[in-house]
Amino acid sequence: MGAEKKRRHVMVETANNTITRRGLLGAFAATALVAAPVYSRAAGYIKGAGDCRFINMYSRRSGEDCKTVYWIDGEYFKDAIDEISLIMRDWRRNETKDIDLRTIDIMAATHRLLDTNEPFQLLSGYRSAKTNAMLRRQSRSVAKKSLHITGQAADLRLSSRSVRQLARAARSCHAGGVGSYSRSRFVHMDCGPVRTWGR
């Protein structure tokens, strides 16, 4: 099946609310060289490449953006992962932690399934233990042992998609936790045990 045909197949599955694991894998497989954006610093990586994965997001807190190909044909690129980890840092304390590759993959697959060029709005990535404790004092919805502390979670938003659409795509990964926060208009994604909450 060609890349364009795979992409259309995944879009049909998404539209019919029957996103499957096969569809998720197809979302990654359909991201061929011809369909992938040519991001800065990626040209050397993608020349002659096949399957690739990329992240497109910006931080509402710092104003920074990140558009990078981070994986091609089974190889992760350290410079790209470092860039992703930097934008996902604890902006309150300016502390950085390596973001778990599984979380990055869940984010990328979710974005691909939604078939949009709009970047994710990153609300929260890594949180230091001190930041998490401070947030817990302000809100009961912040977990004491949050996966944000270990660099394994992200809170994301897309203005062109509803919380329900975003959560449904994330849940289709069958690869971690997905929390829906409709009032605050964001979805939590992590690479912990498979579970869902919120609406």
Q: In the prediction, which pLDDT does 142 show?
A: 80
Check pLDDT > 90 for residue 173: no
Q: In the prediction, which pLDDT does 19 show?
A: 41
- Contact present, 47 and 55 (Cβ < 8 Å): no
Check pLDDT > 60 for residue 8: no
Helix (H, G, I), strand (E, B) or coil at 196: strand
- Write the CA distances from 119 to 32, 108, 140, integer angstroms: 19, 11, 29
Considering only residues 36 and 70, tell me which one the structure prediction assigns the higher pLDDT: 70
Q: What is the pLDDT of residues 105-142, one digit of tens each?
A: 999 999 988 889 999 999 999 999 999 888 888 887 78
What are the contacts of 45-49 at 24+ separation with CB within 8 A?
45/69, 45/72, 45/77, 46/72, 49/73
Helix (H, G, I), strand (E, B) or coil at 2: coil
Q: How many domains does the chain have?
A: 1
pTM equals 0.75
Check pLDDT > 70 for residue 62: yes
d(CA 120, CA 32): 21
- Contact present, 45 and 77 (Cβ < 8 Å): yes
- Contact present, 55 and 119 (Cβ < 8 Å): no
- Write the CA distances from 87 to 51, 58, 81, integer angstroms: 24, 8, 10
Q: What are phi and psi of 92, to 5 degrees?
A: -70, -35
Q: What CATH number does residue 115 fall under? A: 3.30.1380.10
Where in the sequence is the domain holding 184, given as residue range(s)?
Answer: 3-198
Tokens of 147: 């996966």
Q: In the prediction, which pLDDT does 13 show?
A: 37
